[in-house]
Structure 1
Amino acid sequence: MHEARVVKLIKWFIEQFERTPYWLIALLGRFSIAAIFWKSGETKVQGLALDIVSGEFQFGLPRLADSAVFLFKEEYRLPLISPESAAIMAAFAEHFFPLMILIGLATRFSALALLIMTLTIQLLVYPDAYPTHGVWATVLLLLLAKGPGAVALDHFIARKFSR
């Protein structure tokens, strides 16, 4: 009899978690992955800063940080692209795509772009960091497969044009 109660309790907990709305899971995933990439992008830029987590900001003319070029030249060493070009592209991508994911606009395209960036980092820069990159890839793949959820501009645009 005791085992039957335990099984019922486990089933009840599972049923409660299965009721979690997808929009909530997607929103948490979108905010989290956007914060990770945005914060990385902020390390590559000086002058204009906005911390999307704390809300702190600094006004000024944005420019590429010298440390960003140094990292791409000395540590990351990507093939086929100059350190300056790679730093500029990464700084742009780590600001633009997280913002798009955060507001839920062109979410799948942006998730694909960041997934390609994640795979590049994993394969060419930090191959031992697969646990971290695996988590990033999981969130990005979820957004690619299921979309941004109902609390997203993509959802509202799709509803407007599907009528």
Structure 2
Amino acid sequence: MSVTREMPSTSGRSLAAAYRRALNLADSIPLSLVQLAGRVAVAHVFWQSAQTKLASWPVTLQLFAFEYDLPLIEPALAAPLATAAEIIGAALLFLGLFSRLGALMLLGVVAVIQIFVYPGHWGEHLMWSSLLLLILARGAGVVSLDYLVDGYFRRGA
């Protein structure tokens, strides 16, 4: 009975090498590109929501009065506050100006929606929150007004 030894598979090594190359390619994506995409994506969601509210204000007031049913705040006050937070937060994120403040504002909006309005939509809220937490934790990135303003002040102007 003879024992034959198989040579190590070159296909296994080439697959591992291809995987490493793919990881290196992913690692080369600039964080600022990820931050820009996240800012624009989540800003779009909240900007569209605010525009929908503004397009039919009487319906918005009815939704806040009968469907959303927020505790501790009157619908006539909650509707303009929520709309303003969405507009301001979305604009700040899109421009990359006071981005962390905008992200914090919109995280508050998401928390209210999750807790009081649509708790069953946690997956969507988690996706928005993930993008907002990225901006809160890492800032707006180099493609932002925050970066330009920071550079201006660092130069001592």
Indicate the residue corresponding to 1:60 in structure 2.
Answer: none
Partner residue, 1:78: 70
Partner of 1:8: 17
Which structure 2 residues correspond to residues 58-77 of structure 1 after superposition, within 5 A?
A: 65-77=57-69
| In the alignment, structure 1 residue 23 sits paired with structure 2 residue 40 | no
Q: What is the CA-CA distance between 1:155 and the residue it aligns to?
A: 0.4
Residue 39 of structure 1 deviates from its aligned partner by 0.5
Q: Secondary structure at the match of 2:72?
A: coil
SS at match of 1:45: helix
Matched position secondary structure for 2:143: coil
CA drift at 1:85: 0.6
Work out the CA distance in 2 between the residues paired with 1:70 and 1:98.
24
Instruction: Give the secondary structure class of the aligned counterpart of 1:44.
Output: helix
- Indicate whether 1:93 and 2:85 are aligned: yes
Give the corresponding residue for 1:145.
Answer: 137
Structure 1 residue 96: Cα displacement:
1.2
Moved more, 134-143 or 16-25: 16-25
Report SS of the residue matched to 1:80: coil
TM-score w.r.t. the length of structure 2 is: 0.91
State the percentage of identical aligned residues.
Answer: 35
Where structure 1 has 5 or more consecutive residues not aligned to the other structure, the ranges are: 47-63
Shift of 1:156: 0.5
Is the partner of 1:11 in helix, strand or coil? helix
Which of the two has higher C-alpha Rg? 2
Q: Which has a greater percent of strand?
A: 1
Q: State the match for 2:107 in structure 1.
A: 115
Q: Which runs of 5+ in 2 are unaligned?
A: 1-9
Output the amino acid matched with 1:16.
L
> For this pair of structures, how many residues does the alignment match?
146
Q: Which runs of 4+ in 1 moved over 4 A?
A: none
Counterparts of 1:98 and 1:89 in 2: how far apart (Å)?
Answer: 14
Superposition deviation, residue 33 in structure 1: 0.4
1:127-160 per-position Cα deviation (integer Å, ceiling 9, x unaligned): 1100000000000000001100101000011111
**Residue deviations 1:57-77 (CA, integer Å, cap 9, x gap):** xxxxxxx71011100111100
**Which structure has the highest helix share of the two?**
2
CA distance in 1, matches of 2:111, 2:80: 18
Q: Secondary structure at the match of 1:151?
A: coil
Query: How large is the Cα RMSD of the aligned pairs?
Result: 0.9
- Return the offset for 1:97: 1.1
Amino acid across the alignment from 1:73:
A
